[in-house]
Amino acid sequence: MAGNIVERIDNRVRIRTVLMSTFDKTGIEEFARGLARINPGMLFLSTGGTFGVLEKALGGSATLLQVSDYTGQPETQGGLVKTLDFKIYLGLLTETYNDAHQNDLTRTGARQIDMAVVNLYPFEQVTARDGVSVEEARANIDIGGPCMVRASAKNFLRVASVTDPADYPAILKEMEAGRGALDLNFRLRLAKKAFAHTAAYDTRIAEFLAKQPDDVRGTYRFAGEE
């Protein structure tokens, strides 16, 4: 099946809804406050520890929702499934001038997400430790994070995919100059960086697993054999 070929977009997209889910929270408070200052009334969707940080940083100055409250689906134990939800990916992948997409937003009560601020579980740092087990490494493979990064970066036609805290000041500066909006070329630059980020992440996982022996049964206890 061929993908959608988009012909009509907006060069400048005003950032009204931001999804934030970060492991590295460097600078996230200042960034969120800056976003809320530039675009009053902005909606922030967030998860877990990031939500707690934003709650303190934003106070009552912005609308902040847990992703689980937005989707209507509680997180699974340990946060295993938080953001893998139709409303999230509809919001990230929706095209502005696609009537079917807009009808889906209306039908589900979802809204377009204009920016995704996401960075990933620290797989490289965990596996750099001496004696790390296959199971410890496996538990630190991020699933929802790369999916959100890839979805938002794919839809750079409308969405800003933000993966590096070092970019926060430049994004705020660009939004201030653009009256709360980011243009297509800026979104494309972010997308290039986002895809490089997920590619490097998957490469590190593949390299770690390639170094493991083919038989890892000794790492686990099998049900019924305790």
CATH class of 12-212: alpha beta
CB neighbourhood size of 10 (10 A) = 13
- The DSSP code sequence of 131-156 is T--HHHHHHT--SHHHHHHHHHHHTT
How would you class 72 by CB atoms within 10 Å of its CB: exposed for 0-12, middle for 13-18, buried for 19 or more? exposed
130-179: pLDDT as tens digits: 888 899 999 889 899 999 999 999 999 999 999 999 999 999 999 999 99
pTM: 0.92
Please tell me the number of Cα atoms within 13 Å of 158 on its side-chain side: 21
Res. 77 pLDDT band, cuts 50 70 90:
low
Contact 95, 10 (CB under 8 A): no
Name the DSSP class of 122.
-
**Residue extents of the structural domains in the chain:** 12-212
